[in-house]
Amino acid sequence: MEVKLWNDKREREMYENFAELFAIIKATEKLEKAYVRDIISPAEYEAECQKLIAHFKTLSSTLKDTVPSIEQFHDTYKMDCPAALNRLVTSGVPATVEHRAAAATSSASSASVVAECVQNFITAMDSLKLNMIAVDQVHPLLSDLSSSLNKLLILPSDFEGKTKMREWLSRLSKMGAADELTEQQARQLHFDLESSYNSFMAALPSAGT
């Protein structure tokens, strides 16, 4: 005895769309697992993932009245496809695109911090040359420099510039705001800044790496 799942053409189309949505979610889950296990190349993964995402967006838009929640559809049919849900519903782009965007953001952020560090080094050294040696003049400059160095994750915690700035800030904090560095202290601080700046530039990765 034949059992009909639909009563008319419209119902039949709806169930066919359900089957297609089910297949897209399952295929995406398999694709995500294959990518994570290095079974397919990033290029192959991205091309296939883009297709699945495009089909999913078109189909979910068509089914928005009958399937208002993809998560509910997923749970109703006990699909167990968390990676597919993340890719299709939460992210909406292939993992390779996400990784490129994250790398670009990280690179742009690092470049900005490097520029900030360079500016703070130069400002501190120039200020000493201009005989700005009072504690309330020197301390903010070294504090800004120390802060910017700590933001740059490529520098180790024991990087010369970080340790030297901590030592100087500790020394200055024990002095009064109106106190001034002696000529010997000013020369030593300038030397430490210059040495730290050279170490900083040497620690930066070259453009080719």
What is the DSSP secondary-structure string of 10-23? Answer: HHHHHHHHHHHHHH
The structural domains of the chain, with segments of one domain joined by +, span 9-93, 107-202
Question: Cα(48)–Cα(39) distance, rounded to whole angstroms?
Answer: 13
Question: Cα(32)–Cα(25) distance, rounded to whole angstroms?
Answer: 11
Residue with tokens 């690092």: 110
pLDDT attached to residue 107? 64
Q: Which CATH superfamily is domain 107-202 in?
A: Vps28 C-terminal domain (1.20.120.1130)
* 67 contacts: CB under 8 Å, gap ≥ 6: 18, 21, 60, 73
pLDDT digit string, tens, across residues 79-110: 999 999 999 998 888 998 888 766 666 666 68
pLDDT digit string, tens, across residues 111-158: 888 899 999 999 999 999 999 999 999 999 999 999 999 888 788 888
Is the pTM here over 0.85, yes or no? Answer: no
139 burial level (CB within 10 Å; 0-12, 13-18, 19+): middle
Rg, Å, the chain Cα set = 30
CATH for the 9-93 domain, from 3.40.1180.10, 2.40.160.40, 1.20.1440.200, 3.40.50.1980: 1.20.1440.200
